[in-house]
Structure 1
Amino acid sequence: MILMKDIVREGHPVLRQVAHEVKTPLTEQDINIIKEMQEFLINSQDPELSEKYDLRAGVGLAAPQINIPKRMFVIYLEDDDERLYQYALVNPKIVSHSVEKSYLTSGEGCLSVDRDVPGYVLRHARVTIKAYDALSEKEVKLRLKGLPAIVFQHELDHLNGVMFYDHINKENPFHLPENAIAVEN
């Protein structure tokens, strides 16, 4: 079971590396890693289990965050319409995106960052993704907007050695371009 002690924190070199492509079909070891990552997210959102094991709630977790430099991440979240987004994506790529930007009104956080980082993180408002889904064992194409699109881009950044605060405007952390879409979380 993955615990908070297993999640590497900012400053660890793996968080700044570009992760390696993963061969498909997946090995048993890769499948087990993904299952453990998914279990962590589900447990972290369960009030009893998160308290029992001292877990911070998360909606996404990338393999580099547990010191595995592979292009894999899991997402587990519900949108405003209570639609569940549960994915275990391998070798994900953005194949198209909107010009329009969006941002979380409360700012972004990260399981690998133990401090508040004030400022808006601008992301593409809509993205189309291609990836291998470890749950269905098939190639998938997803069109996402709102919170799921933001979470996907945050996790994809981890696979490219980018931290969320790298996107915050250094001179004016709360600067917003015209027509940026506010997303509540």
Structure 2
Amino acid sequence: MFLMKDIVRDGDPVLRKRAENVQFPLSDEDKKLAEDLMEYLVVSQDPELCEKYNLRAGVGLAAPQVGVSKMMASVLVPAEDENDEPVFKDVIINPVIVSNSVQKGALTEGEGCLSVDKDIPGYVPRSARITLKYTDVDGKDHKIRLKNYPAIVCQHEIDHLHGTLFYDHIDKDDPFSRTDDEIFIY
């Protein structure tokens, strides 16, 4: 299981590299990576386990964040009600955003990142809706539409695969600037 000591921190060159595509069928090493990426999210979202292992809770974790420059990320957006199925849960491999809305969205509290230890205030404008193509660990292709929070989470993780960090999107001169047509997700 990955622990916080395994998470690569801002400043490490792997976070600024474009990751390599993953080949199918997955190697045993890639299967283990996918399993470990998702396990971190599941454990980190359980308050007792999160405290036991001294983790920071996360909804996404990309392979470069654990020092592996491969096009793979785990995403686990929990349901509002803990008894419901997660809004989105999968390991996305070789993901591509094939279309996105013109309308922008941003989280009201800004974004955070397991690889960035300091709080960087500001709105991170992203597409409010995306269509995402990816392959899962079993080699099955998916094409799904996501909106609002799940769309933002996936864009954040895909950015990691392209060497971009969330704060690269923040307006340096006016970090809390917004346009009239932006939607804000709480």
Deviation at residue 137 of structure 1 after TM alignment: 3.1
TM-superposition CA deviations, 1:154-177 (whole Å, max 9, x none)? 000000000000000000000011
Q: Distance in 2 between matches of 1:54 and 1:80?
A: 24
Q: Distance in 2 between matches of 1:83 and 1:163?
A: 29
Partner of 1:168: 170
- 1:151 paired with 2:153, answer yes
The aligned length equals 183
Deviation at residue 178 of structure 1 after TM alignment: 1.7
Q: What's the % identity of the aligned pairs?
A: 53
2:135 maps to amino acid? Y
TM-superposition CA deviations, 1:31-54 (whole Å, max 9, x none)? 111101111100001111111110
1:133 maps to amino acid? D
Partner of 2:109: 106
Partner of 1:75: 75
Q: Distance in 2 between matches of 1:83 and 1:127?
A: 21
Partner of 1:27: 27
Q: Distance in 2 between matches of 1:35 and 1:83?
A: 19
Deviation at residue 179 of structure 1 after TM alignment: 1.1
Q: Distance in 2 between matches of 1:25 and 1:176?
A: 44
Partner of 1:3: 3
Partner of 1:97: 100
Q: Which runs of 5+ in 2 are unaligned?
A: none
Q: Distance in 1 between matches of 2:69 and 2:95?
A: 14
| TM-score (normalizing by structure 2) | 0.96
Q: Distance in 1 between matches of 2:36 and 2:52?
A: 17
Partner of 2:144: 142
1:144 maps to amino acid? L
Q: Distance in 1 between matches of 2:119 and 2:112?
A: 7
TM-superposition CA deviations, 1:35-87 (whole Å, max 9, x none)? 01111100001111111110000000000000000000000112447551111
3-state DSSP of counterpart to 1:96: strand
Q: Distance in 1 between matches of 2:79 and 2:35?
A: 22
3-state DSSP of counterpart to 1:114: coil
C-alpha RMSD over aligned residues: 1.1
- 1:118 paired with 2:121, answer yes
Q: Which runs of 5+ in 1 are unaligned?
A: none
Partner of 1:38: 38
